[in-house]
């Protein structure tokens, strides 16, 4: 087995490669320097020459300020990669999707059979859902298995996106004021970067097939995050509250039951994950 990790320079990709190294699992870091993502033959040549059997596909753009660039990367790039698999030794692809494919109107934990309705303004979520459909359609009549992992809200040291966690960690590490907007009702399923990397590797080496939620199954409100932050600061940070005319009270928590049946479990609590983030920040 040899795994290609696309997007190896990204937040999740770097940690996946580090864990593969620690586990002594053969892999290649897939970056723009390795092959041309817009050139099918360049990718096919790389896959063959490096005897790639499995792919963890993380290469994607998250910033939706340039829709064309995002779609070119997340949809067109994936389409060409799937075309490049023909004639190679690749037998499994693990695709990193996200919880935003489900939309936001949920009052209970979401399982994989839930209807996917990405919010119209969430171009990234839409691109991920289209990616899921592409993989399903293009690989269903081949011998290549695929796992689609819908990942909950990822956080951890060095993250580029996720302003809420970043701001909280910075305030706690610097013993600064923590800003709370409204009552902090919004609830999300936060999963630490190490648990995400472990889940992606688990899906790849076991060559899982189908759609899985990669999550903790535990919802944490913004107010609860703030309270954890105060505790981690040992009371050295304070809370400044801002009133809102209308507040986001959406809830997105994924049910991890299906992937747990394959032997995977997220182990790091939000409190422990935030503690690690604060330590790394210092």
**Beta-ladder partners of 220:** 188
Q: pTM to 2 decimals?
A: 0.94
> φ and ψ at 129, to 5 degrees?
-70, -40
Query: Which letter, b or e, does each residue of 29-62 get, where b requires 16 or more Cβ atoms within 10 Å of its Cβ?
Result: bbbeebbebeebeebbebbeebebbbbbbbbbbb
User: pLDDT of 115-170, one tens digit each?
Assistant: 998 887 888 999 999 999 999 999 998 999 999 999 999 999 988 777 899 999 99
Strands 187-188 and 220-221, how do they pair? Answer: antiparallel
Give me the residue spans of the domains in the chain: 3-154+192-214, 156-188+218-250+267-281
pLDDT value of residue 64 = 66
**Mean pLDDT along residues 236-259:** 93
Measure CA 149 to chain center: 8
Cα–Cα distance for residue pair 39/77, rounded to 1 Å: 9
Cα–Cα distance for residue pair 276/282, rounded to 1 Å: 10
Comparing C-alpha atoms, which of 231, 222, 229, 238 is closest to residue 181? 222
Q: 230: pLDDT confidence band, cut at 50, 70 and 90?
A: very high
Residues contacting 252, CB < 8 A, separation 6+: 99, 100, 102, 104, 106, 110, 152, 153, 187, 188, 189
Tokens of 13: 């990709």
**Mean pLDDT along residues 226-233:** 96
- DSSP letter, residue 50: T
What architecture (CATH level 2) is domain 3-154+192-214? 3-Layer(aba) Sandwich (3.40)
Cα–Cα distance for residue pair 77/71, rounded to 1 Å: 8
Comparing C-alpha atoms, which of 85, 23, 17 is closest to residue 56? 17
Q: Which CATH superfamily is domain 156-188+218-250+267-281 in?
A: UDP-galactose 4-epimerase, domain 1 (3.90.25.10)
Q: 19: pLDDT confidence band, cut at 50, 70 and 90?
A: very high
pLDDT value of residue 122 = 86
Q: What is the mean pLDDT of the chain?
A: 93
Domains 3-154+192-214 and 156-188+218-250+267-281 share a fold: no
- 């940070």: which residue's tokens? 237
């Amino acid at each position: 087995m040899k795994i290609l990790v696309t997007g190896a320079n990204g937040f999740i990709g770097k940690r996946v490669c580090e864990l593969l190294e620690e586990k002594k699992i053969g892999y290649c870091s897939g970056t723009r320097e390795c092959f041309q993502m817009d050139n099918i033959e360049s990718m096919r040549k790389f896959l063959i020459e490096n005897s790639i059997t499995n792919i963890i596909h993380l290469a994607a753009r998250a910033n939706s300020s340039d829709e064309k660039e995002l779609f070119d990367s997340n949809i067109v790039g994936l389409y060409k990669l799937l075309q490049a698999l023909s004639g190679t030794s690749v037998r499994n692809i693990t695709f990193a999707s996200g919880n935003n494919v489900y939309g936001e109107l949920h009052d209970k934990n979401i399982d994989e059979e839930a209807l996917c309705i990405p919010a119209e303004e969430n171009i990234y979520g839409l691109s991920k859902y289209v990616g899921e459909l592409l993989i399903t359609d293009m690989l269903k009549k081949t011998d290549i298995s695929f796992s689609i992992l819908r990942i909950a809200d990822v956080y951890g040291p060095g993250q580029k996106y996720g302003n809420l966690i970043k701001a909280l960690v910075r305030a706690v590490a610097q013993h600064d004021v923590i800003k709370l907007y409204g009552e902090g009702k919004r609830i999300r399923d936060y999963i630490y970067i190490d648990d995400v990397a472990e889940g992606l590797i688990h899906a790849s080496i076991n060559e899982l097939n189908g759609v899985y939620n990669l999550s903790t199954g535990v919802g944490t409100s913004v107010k609860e995050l703030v309270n954890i932050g105060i505790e981690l600061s040992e009371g050295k940070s304070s809370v400044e509250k801002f009133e809102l005319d209308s507040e986001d009270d959406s809830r997105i928590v994924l049910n991890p039951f299906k992937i747990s049946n394959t032997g995977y479990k997220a182990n790091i609590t939000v409190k422990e994950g935030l503690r690690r983030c604060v330590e790394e920040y210092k």
